[in-house]
Structure formats: structure tokens, C-alpha cells
């Protein structure tokens, strides 16, 4: 039993180091102010997004990554290694194990997926060590205290892994909410920008028309008529600006 426990403990410690490093990388991505699409690949996997936005034939893995990076609505993609097709997807999604395909995903999803895999492997090793300890506890009465301590440590490890798994899922939801908020903010800013451009064009047009009528009235010698037309167009211009400004604020 001792050799089995030692071997499993060695594997557990090695995986735990990898888990901690990956966890730190995940935190760095989550806390980063740069949320641009830094895509990473996951072999033998597919990215399942909310909807597919495009399918590229006769593609390569590098072209698939580049296409997703250059498409603003692309949150991930799947490259088929056999048919050389690239499927671009949008929205939040998950990684699914699929032979002969390569998932192309954002860094946060990549590291969270790695954490979930490592978490499950650590839990499996922990359960194996616990089962071996429980089966052989009667043969080691002299070392009961040591065995119980190890069992308690294993139980603590399981509790920590379970808690961290929940924390990872919560951070993923927060990251996705942040992405959604920023994307919608960009859409609203762009929409307001185009509305202001339209307002400026309308104002310039009205000024041009007002100037044209002003010149015509002056040539006809109608001083009062010129003043009335100018005043009329000023009121029209002011009214349209107020209407457009109210529309933009909505």
C-alpha cells in the first residue's frame, strides 16, 4: 500500500503544481484590462458557441485563427483537420471533446477548461488514495494516527478542489458578463456617433438652403422678406436640432 500511496502522491503533487500555475494564468487573464481576442487552440476538441456565423472551406488552422481574430463577433471557432473547414461561432460557449478537430477559443475559456481537467484529475487521484487507505487501514494498526492524518489531508484536498471549481465557474460567468457589457457599450457608442454625424449633415444642409434663399431675397430687394425667411429657417433649424437631440438621447 505504501508504494501505491507514494506513487499516487507524487502524481498528485505534480498535478497540483500544474494546477496552481494554470490557476494563476487564469487569474491574470481575468484581471487583465486587455480583453482582446488572444485565441488559443485545444486539440481534439470543438468550440460550441451560441450560433455559427460563417463556414470557411479549404482553410488551414492558422487561417481559421486569423479569420476569427479579424471578425468582431467571433468568440471562437472549430477547425476540422480532415475536411479543412473552419466554422466561426459567436456568443459564449464551451469546449467539447471531439476527435480530429481543433477548438479555437479565448484565453479565459482555455485556462478555465484546463483547470477543470486538472481539477478532475486531482479529485480522481485523491479518491484513489482515499480508497486504498480505507481498504488497508486494518493492516496498519500501529500507524493508525498517521493514516488518519493522511485521510484528513485527502479530505481537505477534496474540499478545497470542490470549492475552487465553484469559484472558477463564478469567475467565468463574471468575465462573460464583462465581455457582454463592453460589446454592447461599443454598439451604443457607434450608434450615437452615426446619429451625431446625421445631425451635422442636416444642419449644414439647412444652413445652405437658408443662405441660398437669403441671397435670392436680397437680389429681389425685399429686405423684410429676407429677414422673415431667415427667421423662419432659423426656427426650423432650431426645432430640428431639438428633435434630433431628443432622439439621440433615447
Hey, where are the domains in the chain? Answer: 2-178, 188-249
Q: What is the pLDDT of residue 213?
A: 55
Q: What is the pLDDT of residue 134?
A: 75
Q: What is the pLDDT of residue 60?
A: 95
Cell matching residue 200: 451635422
* Beta strands 94-106; 76-80: pairing state: antiparallel
Q: What is the pLDDT of residue 43?
A: 94
Q: What is the pLDDT of residue 227?
A: 47
Q: What is the pLDDT of residue 183?
A: 55
Q: What is the pLDDT of residue 5?
A: 79
Alpha carbons 35 and 16: distance in angstroms, whole number: 28
Query: What's the CATH number of domain 2-178, 3.40.50.300, 3.50.4.10, 2.60.40.10, 3.40.50.2300?
Result: 3.50.4.10
Vertex 203 angle, CA 198 and 209, to 5°: 125
Q: Are 75 and 89 in contact (CB under 8 A)?
A: yes
Q: What is the pLDDT of residues 60-92, one digit of tens each?
A: 999 999 999 999 899 999 999 999 999 999 988
Which residues of the chain carry a pLDDT beneath 70?
A: 1-2, 33-37, 136-151, 154-155, 158, 175-196, 198-199, 202-203, 205-250
Amino acid at each position: 500500500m505504501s508504494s501505491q500511496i507514494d506513487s499516487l502522491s507524487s502524481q498528485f503533487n505534480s498535478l497540483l503544481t500544474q494546477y496552481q500555475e494554470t490557476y494563476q494564468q487564469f487569474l491574470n487573464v481575468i484581471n487583465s484590462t486587455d480583453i482582446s481576442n488572444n485565441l488559443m487552440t485545444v486539440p481534439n476538441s470543438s468550440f460550441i458557441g451560441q450560433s455559427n456565423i460563417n463556414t470557411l472551406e479549404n482553410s488551414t488552422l492558422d487561417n481559421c485563427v486569423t479569420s476569427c481574430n479579424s471578425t468582431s463577433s467571433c468568440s471562437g471557432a472549430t477547425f476540422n483537420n480532415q475536411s479543412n473547414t473552419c466554422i466561426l461561432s459567436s456568443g459564449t460557449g464551451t469546449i467539447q471533446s471531439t476527435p480530429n478537430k481543433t477548438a479555437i477559443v479565448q484565453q479565459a475559456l482555455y485556462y478555465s477548461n484546463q483547470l477543470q481537467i486538472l481539477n478532475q484529475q486531482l479529485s480522481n487521484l485523491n479518491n484513489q488514495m482515499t480508497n486504498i487507505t480505507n481498504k488497508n487501514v486494518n493492516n496498519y494498526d500501529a500507524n493508525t494516527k498517521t493514516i488518519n492524518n493522511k485521510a484528513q489531508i485527502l479530505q481537505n484536498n477534496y474540499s478545497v478542489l470542490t470549492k475552487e471549481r465553484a469559484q472558477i465557474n463564478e469567475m467565468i460567468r463574471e468575465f462573460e458578463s464583462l465581455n457582454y457589457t463592453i460589446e454592447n457599450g461599443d454598439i451604443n457608442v457607434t450608434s450615437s456617433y452615426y446619429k451625431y454625424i446625421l445631425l451635422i449633415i442636416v444642419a449644414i444642409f439647412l444652413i445652405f438652403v437658408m443662405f441660398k434663399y437669403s441671397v435670392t431675397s436680397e437680389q429681389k430687394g425685399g429686405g423684410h422678406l429676407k429677414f422673415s425667411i431667415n427667421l423662419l429657417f432659423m426656427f426650423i433649424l432650431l426645432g430640428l436640432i431639438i428633435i434630433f437631440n431628443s432622439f439621440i438621447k433615447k
